[in-house]
């Protein structure tokens, strides 16, 4: 028991002093193994076992596809079409931002890619329309949360790989969850924009048209047709998976090939000289994720060996045996952790602890998976360490204090929608 206590104390201390999460998980686990007299060869075995999962092969390809799309001019085409539809009404540019984030999410699955790419395009337009800069940054950051919720999603891949649940089912459930969140963000934006008199720009604002040039049917047609290749990506990826034509891993490879062709040959905004830089960036991102996954595999084995899930279950059951109460506690823990660390390590740390609790009280593993993904993704915009907060702050050049004030209502809304998804299971379960 003393080694278990030291294990957790060391992990907490290392996290508090700022040691990288992967190092924290690995080092605390190694010390536990040494104290328990377990052969040190177990460290290597369990770290390799943590990444030796077929489903994880999706991750490097989806990361690469996202990077190719972010640099391939896809977001600009989506903005043009969305602005044609809703850009000139009250709060129009806020809706455009959220819609484009949702569409871009269905291509990249990345919150950071959404935040950087969409923010760089939309914030200047919102400035032109008179939106205050902190609110514009808040909209971009909140919309970026949709990235890892609407499939393809790295978070869902990690959950499925560690729980033996269906990636395809999680992807299906992610669509209604993401759409409900997007709708909620649009509704809140409407009331805020109506109160402050924020409208949109003309339908021609995003089309690079000359002063006084009229919007013609031909121009609209050209804009819509120009966006079709961009919209083809989620259709091809998700259609291939859900139809059973290919596995998620195979679909991720198709996404890379498609993104490359669109960026190089169709939109011609991705240059051959950029490919090396894109590949290097994707490799670095993949290495970071896999390092965390490997360390978390070791961490999960230690937790299981020490019977930590059973201990926590006994403690929680002594508080309440209510399924609803225990579900609330687990989601609350995920939200609090989201304020302190990134989504991937949160999931890898808590899955081996929470899954046995879910099994014990009859919580569906798929439903818990989608709720867990939403909960940890909200952490992207919760202070003090929300990564999308810092990204939006940098893109928009605003202070953290002003950004937090504007995004706080959106965070509260997302938490409310999360608990709606938790307790009204048919909202997401009807698709599986």
How do residues 183-222 score in pLDDT, each as one tens digit? Answer: 999 999 999 999 988 877 666 665 654 445 566 677 778 8
pLDDT of the residue at 305:
85
Its pTM stands at 0.83
- Report the alpha-carbon angle 294-154-51, nearest 5: 20
C-alpha to C-alpha distance for 152 and 238, rounded to whole angstroms = 8
Distance, in Å, from the CA atom of 247 to the CA atom of 237, rounded to the nearest integer, reads 10
Of 2, 18, 21, whose CA–CA distance to 296 is shortest? 21
Query: Do 51 and 297 form a contact (C-beta atoms < 8 A)?
Result: yes
Q: At 343, list the tokens.
A: 């989504």
φ/ψ region of 109 (left if φ > 0, alpha if ψ in -120 to 50, else beta) reads left
With 0-12 / 13-18 / 19 or more C-beta atoms within 10 angstroms meaning exposed / middle / buried, residue 182 is: buried
Q: Comparing C-alpha atoms, which of 139, 144, 146 is closest to residue 196?
A: 139
**Nearest CA to 178 among 339, 374, 369?**
374
Q: What is the pLDDT of residue 215?
A: 63
Predicted local distance difference test score (pLDDT) of residue 407: 94
3-state SS class at 247: coil
How far apart CA 248 and CA 242 sit, in angstroms, is: 9
> What pLDDT sits at residue 235?
80
Distance CA 250, CA 68 (A): 17
Give the span between the Cα atoms of 96 and 123, in whole angstroms: 11
How confident is the model at residue 1, as a pLDDT? 53
Q: What's the DSSP call for residue 75?
A: H
Q: Find where tokens 């700022």 sit.
A: 18
Question: Measured between alpha carbons, how far is residue 305 from residues 299, 316, 357 in Å?
Answer: 10, 20, 16
CA distance 21 to 333: 17
Low-confidence ranges of the chain (pLDDT < 70): 1, 87, 201-216
Q: Which of 293, 393, 296, 378 is nearest to 338 (CA)?
A: 378
Comparing CA positions, the residue from 373, 313, 397, 370 lying closest to residue 133 is: 397
Which of 348, 326, 321 is CA-nearest to residue 337?
348
User: Which residue ranges make up each domain of the chain?
Assistant: 3-429
- Give CA–CA dist 113/11, Å, rounded: 30
Phi, psi values for residue 260, rounded to 5°: -65, -45
Q: At what angle do helices 21-36 and 343-361 cross, to 10 degrees?
A: 60
């Amino acid at each position: 028991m003393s080694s278990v206590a030291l294990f957790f104390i060391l992990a907490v201390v290392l996290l508090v002093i700022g040691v990288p999460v992967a190092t924290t998980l690995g080092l605390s686990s190694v010390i536990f193994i040494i104290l328990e007299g377990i052969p040190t060869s177990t460290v290597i075995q369990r770290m390799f076992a943590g990444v030796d999962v077929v489903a994880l092969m999706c991750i490097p390809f989806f990361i690469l596809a996202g990077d190719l799309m972010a640099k391939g001019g896809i977001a600009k085409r989506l903005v043009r079409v969305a602005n044609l539809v809703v850009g000139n009404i009250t709060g129009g540019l806020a809706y455009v931002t959220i819609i484009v984030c949702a569409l871009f999410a269905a291509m990249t699955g990345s919150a950071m890619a959404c935040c950087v790419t969409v923010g760089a395009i939309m914030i200047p337009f919102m400035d032109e329309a008179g939106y205050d800069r902190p609110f514009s940054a808040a909209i971009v950051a909140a919309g970026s949360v949709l990235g890892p919720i609407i499939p393809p999603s790295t978070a869902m891949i990690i959950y499925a790989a560690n729980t033996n649940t269906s990636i395809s089912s999680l992807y299906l459930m992610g669509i209604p969850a993401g759409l409900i969140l997007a709708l909620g963000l649009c509704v809140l934006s409407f009331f805020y924009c109506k109160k402050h008199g924020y409208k949109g720009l003309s339908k021609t604002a995003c089309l690079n048209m000359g002063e006084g040039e009229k919007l013609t049917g031909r121009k609209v047609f050209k804009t819509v047709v120009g966006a079709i290749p961009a919209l083809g990506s989620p259709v091809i990826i998700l259609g291939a998976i859900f139809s059973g034509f290919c596995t998620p891993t195979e679909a991720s490879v198709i996404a890379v090939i498609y993104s490359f062709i669109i960026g190089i040959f169709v939109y011609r905004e991705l240059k051959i000289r950029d490919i090396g830089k894109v590949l290097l960036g994707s490799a670095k991102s993949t290495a970071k994720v896999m390092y965390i996954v490997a360390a978390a595999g070791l961490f999960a084995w230690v937790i299981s060996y020490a019977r930590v899930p059973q201990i926590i279950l006994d403690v929680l059951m002594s508080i309440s045996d209510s399924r609803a109460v225990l579900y609330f506690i687990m989601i609350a823990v995920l939200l609090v952790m989201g304020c302190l660390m990134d989504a991937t390590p949160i999931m890898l740390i808590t899955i081996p602890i929470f899954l046995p609790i879910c099994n014990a009280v009859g919580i569906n593993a798929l439903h818990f998976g989608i709720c867990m993904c939403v909960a940890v993704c909200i952490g992207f915009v919760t202070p003090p360490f929300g990564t999308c907060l810092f990204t939006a702050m940098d893109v928009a050049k605003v202070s953290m204090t002003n950004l937090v004030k504007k995004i706080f209502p959106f965070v509260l809304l997302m938490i409310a929608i999360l608990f709606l998804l938790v307790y009204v299971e048919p909202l997401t379960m009807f698709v599986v």
